[in-house]
Structure 1
């Protein structure tokens, strides 16, 4: 990986309904991420947090079935421009959330720099809903669909191209809560998914081996989008939408270690850390520990 890392905080809580996730970037910094990465030999630039607008309404918009569309779009545009600048400057972009709607802006900023960007979506959920399929209207359940070119036109128009990634370049790891529309889309687009069934049956080492092999020949960069609810709530309790039966702390470390060894990852974001729902900043501390493994931390 590049030895210069630029950190961008995105205190976004408008893509969903539970307050507190806007404090995620601060919680991750408080957990010592900068010191940990500097100890690994990286030069760190903390670019601070982008500004997030106000919620427009508590309820879903009657016409769009989306919450806080305007504010999410504006923040995503700002984030996309910052990520684009970081990559242009030769640094590795590391983004802290905030809810997972921030991935719309992240991928809009990353994708123009690659011909065939790959994405590892480490998450309990598919985030493949659109306004037509979403039960909630929460945009944090839509960023992967938007990045594939599916969704409201205002979200699709963020960045240079409406389609940021190809479905065959996506690997979803840890899925265990999918809506009906998401299941249909996965089958229709042929998206590679490793549910908890595959992780339990094959083991995390085999899952990551297969995922890395699947992406390495056809992509020229890989973005890691890691939602802390991909982990089991016993290991990461401070998330807005916890789902029992998730990936373990140790399995997640192994996954990050294997990604580091592969040399594939060219950008990353860690999202959905909510300190209000957490236990003594445990989830942010887990996020920082996983970043350590992703960036080459070894026991010996």
Structure 2
């Protein structure tokens, strides 16, 4: 398969800090080589510095989305499959826009379903899924070229276990399909029944049980091991038409043994093989 890997190395508006070091660390850890050995034609594009002066999290976060949307759309126009490696989950909104996605699978230990009205900490990334579903930051999201909010009924939330009270309350009012990795087949069937035709797959690496894979400082107990996540992701890829992937929230400072890069390579190779084998 022809792949374009887009690097968006930002964390909370800062370039190459914290999670923003993750994309380069995954590349340095042999990701391109792993994909190439599996027979894929891989190009890598870095979005470089975008947006206003450093520290303006909201403006920079959406500037990253704008640039990612353009890179993803260009990749698609060239017949290449886009994989975005990013620090922040919000970047998925840019990928969704560039792919014209009409559905989304969100694997994350957090709900990312806060809004400015409910967020206690004001953490923009804690509102990323809400933004993708059109529940907040509407004018800024609408300014991302090609962005259309995903209908909540065409979304799957996998293994979210660290939810704020307002996120729990919101989920009770939304038709979001919630699942654990072990029930991915049932969730995929429900998503397919909605008529979803172009699915974006978003994986926040802290969805993993930190006892199995520690990727950042926010990880809490529970969640799948890498084999269980790969299995669930491949089930989704087999049943749905996946048009792009984002992988986020890897901070190499919390992965002393550099375990994540080869596991991400295996995850992507398994996903791509599933897609090619359909």
Q: Same fold (TM over 0.5)?
A: yes
Tell me which residue corresponds to 1:55. Answer: 54
C-alpha displacement of 1:93:
0.7
Deviates more, 1:151-160 or 1:228-237: 151-160
Residue 227 of structure 1 corresponds to 204
Q: How many residues align?
A: 271
C-alpha separation between the residues in 2 aligned to 1:235 and 1:12? Answer: 25
Counterpart CA distance in 1 for 2:159 and 2:143 is 28
The reply to whether residue 289 of structure 1 matches residue 274 of structure 2 is: no
Tell me by how many angstroms 1:40 deviates: 2.1
Q: Structure 1 271/137 Cα, relative in aligned 2: closer, same or farther at 3 Å?
A: same
Match of 1:172 among 157, 181, 192: 157
Correspondence 1:1-300 to 2 at 5 A:
3-14=1-12, 19-53=17-51, 54-56=53-55, 68-111=57-100, 114=101, 117-160=102-145, 163-194=148-179, 199=180, 204-205=181-182, 207-217=183-193, 218-262=195-239, 264-296=241-273
Question: C-alpha separation between the residues in 2 aligned to 1:238 and 1:159?
Answer: 29
Q: 1:15 to 1:224 in 2, by over 3 A?
A: farther
- Residue 258 of structure 1, CA deviation: 2.4
Aligned-residue CA RMSD (Å): 2.2
Which segments of 5 or more consecutive residues in structure 1 lack a partner in the other structure? 58-67
Q: Is the 8 A contact 1:146 1:155 kept in 2?
A: no
1:37 and 1:124 map into 2 onto residues whose CA distance is 26
* Conserved? CA contact 1:222–1:267, under 8 Å: yes
Instruction: Give the secondary-structure state (helix, strand or coil) at the position aligned to 2:11.
Output: coil
CA distance in 2, matches of 1:162, 1:256: 24
The CA deviation at 1:292 is: 2.1
Superposition deviation, residue 123 in structure 1: 0.6
CA shift for structure 1 position 293: 1.6
SS at the partner of 1:37? helix
Per the TM alignment, residue 289 of structure 1 is displaced from its structure 2 partner at its CA by 2.2
Q: Contact (CA 8 Å) 1:87, 1:110: kept in 2 or not?
A: yes
Give the superposition deviation at 1:19: 4.3
**Residues 156 and 49 from structure 1, CA distance in 2 versus in 1: closer, same or farther, beyond 3 angstroms?**
closer
TM-score (ref. length: structure 1): 0.83
Partner Cα separation in structure 2 for residue 104 and residue 263 of structure 1? 19
Q: Any unmatched runs of 5+ in structure 2? A: none
CA distance in 2, matches of 1:286, 1:253: 9
Q: State TM-score, norm by structure 2.
A: 0.89
- Report the equivalent of 1:60: none
TM-superposition CA deviations, 1:17-67 (whole Å, max 9, x none): x9421111111111211121122222111123432454336xxxxxxxxxx
CA deviation map 1:109-157 (0-9, x unaligned):
223xx5xx22110110111111111111111111111111122244322
Q: Which residue of 2 aligns with 1:61?
A: none
Query: Would you say the 8 A contact 2:153–2:176 is kept in 1?
Result: yes
